[in-house]
Amino acid sequence: MRFRSVFFFSSILAALLTIAGCEIPCEFSPYDARTSASNYNTWNISQFAPTVTTTDTLHIALLSDTHLYYSDLTAAIAAINADHRISFAVVLGDITEKGLAHEYESFLTGISSLTIPVVTLVGNHDLRSNGGVIYEKSFGPMNFSFHYQNYFFVGFNNIIWENNNTQPDYPWLEEQLSSTDSTVSKIVMAHVPPHSPDEDSQVQSPVYENIMTKYHTMLSLHGHLHQYRYSEKDNVAYIAVSSVGEREYCLLHLCGNSFSIERIHF
């Protein structure tokens, strides 16, 4: 018994010391807000190189609700990488389950194999716990905008409950849309679609839709529902993209003032 005890103790101690010498982290908390990435969206937007002329069709990959479906995300990325027409990708939020740092890290590790720039929106799950702090450190501001060719893209944080039950920053959204040349097509991206069953949607939907109509937005892109949904109101198209966990993403084809959407099953 004594020999067995000595052997067992030595083995455990040796294993722990070996592991300590490897890359086992000393985690301080599950709610750790430290992150390896910084301003990932800002950096990716700076990588946009619109070398094609404005008469060419622009192809954009739309993914959403990757949550913990990392193997599905890997498969989606492989399919996107194989399509050389695509200029950039947009992830329409919910890249985590509980807004934890290790979930953000897993997403960033997964998405790093994408060969094209990617822009990531914040979703309701991403704001749980200290997720909001981690998102801003990792990706940059939750509300952002950028021009690509003749299109103006706006990323808008329309999360309410996980944002301490506060209203989305509609004045900022209106300011962005009003400041743009009327010849530029406007595309707004926000995680929660209008008429969602949650996030105070009954009250928020008319407000959001009025803004979309008022500023002649061409497209309003969303996730959240985990299933594809298409609707139109006052010449604005509202598209909710399915979850990557459903083995589906969308390809948005833009040409001048027209667009088409293609559902890709992988």
Partner 1 sequence: MSPRYPSLSCIAIIFIFLCCPVNSSAHAQDTKINRVYKHFAGQYAGNIGLVSVGVGRSVFNNTLAVGLFYGYLPASINGVEVHTIAIKSALIIFSVKISREITGLTYGGIGAQYAITRNTYIKHPEYYPNGYYSPEAIHLMPFIGAKIRVRYHNSEKEQRWVGWYTELGTLDDHIYNVINHRYTFEPRMLNLAFGVSIDLL
- Residues in contact with partner 1 by CB under 8 A are 1-2, 4-6, 8-9, 12-13, 16-17, 19-20, 22-34, 65, 68-71, 98-100, 102, 105, 124-125, 127-133, 137, 161-162, 164-165, 197-198, 200, 224-226
Cβ proximity to partner 1: between 34 and 214 the closer is: 34
Cβ proximity to partner 1: between 98 and 253 the closer is: 98
Shortest distance, position 58 Cβ to partner 1, whole Å: 29
Cβ proximity to partner 1: between 13 and 184 the closer is: 13
Shortest distance, position 15 Cβ to partner 1, whole Å: 8
Cβ proximity to partner 1: between 88 and 104 the closer is: 104
Shortest distance, position 28 Cβ to partner 1, whole Å: 5
Cβ proximity to partner 1: between 226 and 253 the closer is: 226
Tokens describing residue 204: 């928020």
Shortest distance, position 152 Cβ to partner 1, whole Å: 29
Say if residue 48 is exposed, middle or buried (CB neighbours under 10 Å; 0-12, 13-18, 19+).
middle
Shortest distance, position 231 Cβ to partner 1, whole Å: 17
Q: Please measure the distance between the N-terminal and C-terminal CA atoms of the chain and give it in whole angstroms.
A: 57
Cβ proximity to partner 1: between 9 and 230 the closer is: 9
Cβ proximity to partner 1: between 74 and 210 the closer is: 74
Shortest distance, position 6 Cβ to partner 1, whole Å: 5
DSSP the chain: -HHHHHHHHHHHHHHHHHHHHTT------TT----S--SHHHHHHHT----S-TTSPEEEEEE---TT-HHHHHHHHHHHHH-TTEEEEEE-S---SS--HHHHHHHHHHHTT-SS-EEE---TGGGSTTHHHHHHHHH--SSEEEEETTEEEEEE----GGGTTPPP-HHHHHHHHHTS-TTSEEEEEESSPTT-SSTTHHHHHHHHHHHHHHTT-SEEEE-SSSS-EEEEETTEEEEEPPPGGGTEEEEEEEETTEEEEEEEE-
Report how far residue 61's alpha carbon sits from residue 54's, in angstroms, rounded to the nearest whole number: 18
Shortest distance, position 246 Cβ to partner 1, whole Å: 12
